[in-house]
Amino acid sequence: MTEPDAAGTTLGYEQARDELVDVVRRLEAGGVTLEESLALWERGEELARICGHWLEGARARLDAALAREAGEDAADDADASPDAGGGGGARG
């Protein structure tokens, strides 16, 4: 799954993150015009949005996997529980 940016380029999470790091470094270093700074900031916002989208997708997948696992564990627990009529009384 890849997320297209504003230019229509498809970026994976790592690509977007790496480019975002580069944008931040360039902004922090200074030495660029106001127009260049604004363009970098806009690109950084777009890259942050792409990274956020990827992270939201990853969170959803993890939540779904954990929910499935919890459902399987609950089913396993129900299978392992003793029958209501068959256990544990005194015999005599």
User: pLDDT tens digits for the chain (92 residues)?
Assistant: 565 666 666 899 999 999 999 999 999 999 999 999 999 999 999 999 999 999 999 999 999 999 999 988 877 877 776 665 555 555 55
Residue 69 structure tokens: 């696992």
Report the Cα 64 to chain-centroid distance in Å. Answer: 12
d(CA 30, CA 91): 85
CATH T-level topology, domain 10-80: Helix Hairpins (1.10.287)
Place of tokens 């700074």: 37
pTM exceeds cut of 0.85:
no
Cβ partners under 8 Å of residue 55, min gap 6:
13
